[in-house]
Amino acid sequence: MKPNYSQPGLKKAILYKYLILGFLVISTSVSAQKQKPKNESWYDEKLIHFGFSLGFNTMDFNITPSQDFLKTDSIYPEVSRLNPGINIQIVTNLRPGRYWDIRFLPGVSFGQRNVRYYKLSEIPGEDPVLFNEQQRVESSFLEFPLLLKYKGERLNNVRPYVIGGFNFRYDLAAKKEYDDEKPVYLRLKRPDLYYETGAGLDFYLKYFKLSVELKLSNGLTNVVVDERAPGYPEFRNAIEKMKSRMWIIAFHFE
């Protein structure tokens, strides 16, 4: 029997829905604006321009439990809660056409994920119990996103856009071996490739452009290391595969 994860799972789903709903409301209000004087955007008309970006993230795992281990030991893993992290990037923007930009944003991101394991009850209908203290998995990424940006028509000093592409991340915090002094019995692979999709709004201010962007970043590979921690193999055995996922809200200054 699968545990009842309505609590953490529901919180994630509600968070995602509210973020998307908020963005749609902002976009709708922008489209309803009346014509106003436009701020000059000479920097936006150049073939190439630069900037910097600050953002906040919530890192997550998409965990596929091991069905064989679930049948024998009845232990089920999941991410217990979402934690805030930070992103810092340098913006390089190439403008090949009126509505298209190619963007390269190398930088760093920091965050963590907490994985908990639940022991299923042998009594039908009884809730699962917490198997152990949480596994706190920290990440410090070097990241190299290459993204394609499609821009809509500018209305006054606001312009909506959608964005998508790929991001190669390298986790500097991933351990080469288990640390006997820390009770963390999962290890992550350092490199991973993500696909990213999102949307945003460009705000043309007097001296620069501010972009507010909401983006989903999904890992493409299984990042959990196959090696078991000495004396604690059940933590790795309970997981068939584990992929990274990240929600990001970024503020670009260009």
- Distant-in-sequence, close-in-space partners of 150: CB < 8 Å, separation ≥ 6: 99, 100, 161, 162, 163
The arithmetic mean of pLDDT across residues 177-200, rounded, is 92
**122 burial level (CB within 10 Å; 0-12, 13-18, 19+):** exposed
What's the pLDDT at 42?
78
Tokens of 164: 């998508």
| 75 pLDDT tier (thresholds 50, 70, 90) | confident
Q: Is residue 1 part of a domain?
A: no
CA separation for the pair 13, 79 (Å, rounded) = 13
Please say if the pLDDT value at position 210 is more than 50.
yes
- The string of pLDDT tens digits covering residues 99-152 is 999 999 999 999 999 998 888 766 666 677 777 767 899 999 999 999 999 999
What's the pLDDT at 3?
47
- The string of pLDDT tens digits covering residues 2-29 is 444 444 454 455 555 555 555 554 555 5
For residues 254 and 93, is the Cβ–Cβ distance under 8 A? yes
Q: What are the distances in angstroms from CA 90 to CA 29, 103, 172?
A: 30, 10, 19
Q: Is residue 216 part of a domain?
A: yes
The arithmetic mean of pLDDT across residues 174-189, rounded, is 88
Residue 78 amino acid letter: E
Reference 139, options 95, 191, 209; nearest CA is: 191
Q: Is residue 39 part of a domain?
A: yes
Torsion sign over Cα 224, 226, 227, 230: positive
Q: 47 lies in which domain range?
A: 6-253
CA separation for the pair 105, 41 (Å, rounded) = 21
CA separation for the pair 249, 254 (Å, rounded) = 16
What's the pLDDT at 23?
54
The arithmetic mean of pLDDT across residues 216-222, rounded, is 97
Q: Is residue 98 part of a domain?
A: yes
Domain count, the chain: 1
Residue 154 maps to which CATH number?
2.40.160.20
CB neighbourhood size of 80 (10 A): 18
Tell me the pLDDT of the chain averaged across its residues: 85
Tokens of 216: 């989903």
Containing H/E element for 68? helix 67-73
Q: What are the distances in angstroms from CA 254 to CA 54, 90, 132, 140?
A: 12, 10, 47, 25
Tokens of 196: 């990213």
For residues 87 and 57, is the Cβ–Cβ distance under 8 A? yes
Q: Is residue 224 part of a domain?
A: yes
What's the pLDDT at 6?
41
Please say if the pLDDT value at position 38 is more than 90.
no
Q: Is residue 214 part of a domain?
A: yes
- The string of pLDDT tens digits covering residues 156-169 is 899 999 999 999 99
Q: Is residue 19 part of a domain?
A: yes
Please say if the pLDDT value at position 200 is more than 70.
yes
- Count of all residues that appear for the chain in the document: 254
Which of the pair, 236 or 39, is modelled with greater confidence?
236
The arithmetic mean of pLDDT across residues 56-68, rounded, is 92
- Strands (E) located in the chain: 48-65, 75-81, 84-94, 100-104, 107-119, 129-130, 135-151, 158-171, 191-204, 209-219, 239-253
Please say if the pLDDT value at position 178 is more than 80.
yes
Q: Which residue has the tokens 């403008």?
A: 95
